[in-house]
Structure 1
Amino acid sequence: MKVKSKIWSALGSFMDHSMINKPSGADRAILTDIETAIERCIDLHDTVFDERYVHEILFLVSNAPGSITFLSRRISTHLDSTREPVRALKTLLLIHRLLRGGDRYFEQDLRNLWSSQDLKVDPSWLMDYNDEAYALVHGYSSYLEERMAWAFGQSGNLEPVRPPFMELTFRSYNDEMVELLCFRLSKCQTLLDRVMDCFLVNSSSDGPVARSVFGLVLRESFRVYEGYAEGLEYLMRSPFNKASKPFRSLVHEILKKSCLQTPQIQDFYQKCKKTNVGKALDYPFVKIVTPSHITSVENMFTSKDQSQILEEDERTTEEIPIRESKNSFNLFPGKLETTISTVWVEFVEENLEATSL
């Protein structure tokens, strides 16, 4: 199976450079069908492509292991070659749909190809186009750049993928739990920032493709926010008092950021509700984090530190009297001496006889 996958990967690379020169038969037909489906999805018309083309691509790739490399490179080539905002949006939307529609193995392979730069979601030419027509392309590209580091977990929720080089060693279980939770919350904060940057509601296009992008990203943000809110609540309810100070500082930074961000999320969702796409969606209830929440958690940390100090002092003061009592607890404080009397006592015989009778 690995050999076949490598053959398909090499074939995809070859076709990416020489565009189907000589490979024949079924191999050539599959890659040609993939290319055709891509082109149908990313034409110049401001209409959302049919979902069946996405399923067709996924089906073709699943039957040709390794052809995902060809798919990624062809999509990247189309994204780099176009300058039309609608076509760029449709290309990014195709990547997003494929990322959501494939199984976890496809999702993982696509993420690996993004890591190796075979799949690009940030075209190099985009930096030269800063007018309003390209605002959504900029925002969506930035969102997908962050979204590629997320995956659907077994529960069906979006979860950030931890890079292999981030595997750390910890001094305690509490440190590990704090770092794991703060990593997740930090990634949620970053992705939610990308969502808000993606849609400057007043300046975004109102075409069908833009509305499709808007609805898809907004619905994903709801699930991300729900996980974010649960994590914040757990962090404030159980702030891991036994964690070391460096990891407590992580908690402080997360809460400090959420204190600024949660009102922004609430305001953003309120604006989205007034749009044609956003008004029909089921929005989550946004819980505002306030400075009092931060103070409460810090007080819990402080009280825990003080209680630890008191416990240590109590243990110390309890040990000292015990040692002193062992030295001072003496029923006979002075030196005991025994004196033997040398005085003779003379008994009268009469009295002695009377006593014996």
Structure 2
Amino acid sequence: MKVKSKIWSALGSFMDHSMINKPSGADRAILTDIETAIERCIDLHDTVFDERYVHEILFLVSNAPGSITFLSRRISTHLDSTREPVRALKTLLLIHRLLRGGDRYFEQDLRNLWSSQDLKVDPSWLMDYNDEAYALVHGYSSYLEERMAWAFGQSGNLEPVRPPFMELTFRSYNDEMVELLCFRLSKCQTLLDRVMDCFLVNSSSDGPVARSVFGLVLRESFRVYEGYAEGLEYLMRSPFNKASKPFRSLVHEILKKSCLQTPQIQDFYQKCKKTNVGKALDYPFVKIVTPSHITSVENMFTSKDQSQILEEDERTTEEIPIRESKNSFNLFPGKLEATISTVWVEFDEENLEATSL
């Protein structure tokens, strides 16, 4: 299977350079069909392309392992060659739709090709075009640059993908949990900033393609914000008081950023509700983080530090120190809630027979 995938990848690269218009066999015909579907999606008309072309591309790629390399390079070539804002928007929208429509293996492969620069979402020519007609292209390109580092998790929610080089070692489990939570919250903050930068609500870009981009990005932002709000609430209620000071500073930075950002998000959503696209959407309730929240968390840290000092002083007066077992350590203070999974697990008859034995 790996050999076949490499052959397809090499064939895609070969066609990408010079051979796409030459007659060929069945293998080359699939790549030609992919190219045709791409061109149908990214014409010059300000109309949203039919979703069936996206499904056609996904179907063709699924039946030709390795052709995703050809797909990525052809899309990048089209994006680099056009100077029309509508066509650039449609090309970026195609990338976004493919990213959402494919399975997790397709999503992972597309993200890897973006990392290797085979797939580009930021055309080099865009820096020379700064007038209003290209404002949405600039914003959408920046959004997709950040969005490529996200993936749909098993729960169906968008989650940031942790780069392999970010695997760290920690002094304690609390430090690890704080860093993990702050990483997720920081990525949420960045993506939400990209959403707000993506749209100038009073922009003149109100054509069908622009409205489609607006609706898609806005709906994604709702899911991201909901996860962001849940993470902030958990961070403020359980700020991991046993974490070391460097990781506590991460908590402080996240909360400080949220004080500035949450009012901006609320104002942004209020403006979006007045637009033709945004008025029919189901917006999340935005919870405003205030400086008093930061003070409350810092006071909690301080009180825990003082109580820890008192506990250490009391231990020095005891003849036999009593230490709590590591197995009894509770990561989540307060009430625990059980969640019933709705994921069905299917067992083969052979596995059931083996289990009964």
Q: Distance in 1 between matches of 2:126 and 2:278?
A: 27
Q: Cα offset for 1:321?
A: 15
Q: Cα offset for 1:295?
A: 0.3
Change (3 A) 1:40 1:354: closer
Q: Could you list the structure 1 runs, at least 4 aligned residues long, displaced by more than 3 angstroms after superposition.
A: 317-357
Q: Distance in 2 between matches of 1:43 and 1:354?
A: 57
Change (3 A) 1:50 1:342: closer
- Match for residue 319 of structure 1? 319
Post-superposition CA distance 1:121-175 (Å, at most 9, x none): 0000000000000000000000000000000000000000000000111111100
Between stretches 325-334 and 228-237, larger displacement belongs to 325-334
Q: Distance in 1 between matches of 2:34 and 2:56?
A: 8
**Is the counterpart of residue 262 in structure 1 residue 235 in structure 2?**
no
TM normalised by structure 2 equals 0.89
Q: Cα offset for 1:315?
A: 2.2
Q: Distance in 1 between matches of 2:55 and 2:349?
A: 134
Q: Distance in 2 between matches of 1:342 and 1:146?
A: 30
Q: Cα offset for 1:32?
A: 0.5
Q: Cα offset for 1:19?
A: 3.0
Change (3 A) 1:68 1:309: same
Q: Distance in 1 between matches of 2:296 and 2:95?
A: 44
Post-superposition CA distance 1:16-47 (Å, at most 9, x none): 00132657211111001000000000000000
Q: Cα offset for 1:311?
A: 1.1
Change (3 A) 1:255 1:87: same
Post-superposition CA distance 1:240-271 (Å, at most 9, x none): 00000000000000000001000000000000
Give 3-state SS (helix, strand or coil) of 1:262's partner: helix
Post-superposition CA distance 1:91-128 (Å, at most 9, x none): 00000000000000000000000000000000000000
Between stretches 141-150 and 20-29, larger displacement belongs to 20-29
Aligned residues of 1:6 and 1:66 also touching (Cα < 8 A)? yes
Change (3 A) 1:317 1:26: same
Change (3 A) 1:130 1:344: closer
Post-superposition CA distance 1:178-223 (Å, at most 9, x none): 0000000000000000000000111250000000000000000000
Q: Distance in 2 between matches of 1:115 and 1:177?
A: 27
Post-superposition CA distance 1:46-85 (Å, at most 9, x none): 0000000000000000000000000000000000000000
Change (3 A) 1:123 1:321: closer
Change (3 A) 1:41 1:302: same
Change (3 A) 1:349 1:258: closer
Q: Cα offset for 1:344?
A: 104
Q: Distance in 2 between matches of 1:109 and 1:351?
A: 32
In structure 2, runs of 5+ residues without a counterpart are none
Give 3-state SS (helix, strand or coil) of 1:159's partner: strand
Aligned residues of 1:204 and 1:210 also touching (Cα < 8 A)? no
Alignment length (residue pairs): 357
Change (3 A) 1:255 1:121: same
Q: Cα offset for 1:314?
A: 2.0
Aligned residues of 1:139 and 1:199 also touching (Cα < 8 A)? yes
Post-superposition CA distance 1:320-348 (Å, at most 9, x none): 99999999999999999999999999999
Between stretches 346-355 and 191-200, larger displacement belongs to 346-355
Aligned residues of 1:4 and 1:65 also touching (Cα < 8 A)? yes
Change (3 A) 1:32 1:299: same
- Match for residue 48 of structure 2? 48
- Match for residue 92 of structure 2? 92
Give 3-state SS (helix, strand or coil) of 1:322's partner: coil
Q: Distance in 1 between matches of 2:194 and 2:223?
A: 15
Give 3-state SS (helix, strand or coil) of 1:215's partner: helix
Change (3 A) 1:33 1:291: same
Aligned residues of 2:174 and 2:331 also touching (Cα < 8 A)? no
Aligned residues of 2:315 and 2:321 also touching (Cα < 8 A)? no
Aligned residues of 1:135 and 1:204 also touching (Cα < 8 A)? no
Q: Distance in 2 between matches of 1:352 and 1:29?
A: 45
Give 3-state SS (helix, strand or coil) of 2:159's partner: strand
Give the superposed CA RMSD.
Answer: 23.1
Change (3 A) 1:89 1:346: closer
Q: Cα offset for 1:316?
A: 2.6
- Match for residue 208 of structure 1? 208
Structure-to-structure mapping, 1:159-170, within 5 angstroms: 159-170=159-170
Aligned residues of 1:136 and 1:204 also touching (Cα < 8 A)? no
Q: Distance in 1 between matches of 2:346 and 2:84?
A: 138
Structure-to-structure mapping, 1:59-98, within 5 angstroms: 59-98=59-98
Q: Distance in 1 between matches of 2:249 and 2:303?
A: 16
Q: Distance in 2 between matches of 1:347 and 1:41?
A: 42
Change (3 A) 1:352 1:196: closer
In structure 1, runs of 5+ residues without a counterpart are none
Change (3 A) 1:308 1:213: same
Change (3 A) 1:28 1:356: closer
TM normalised by structure 1 equals 0.89
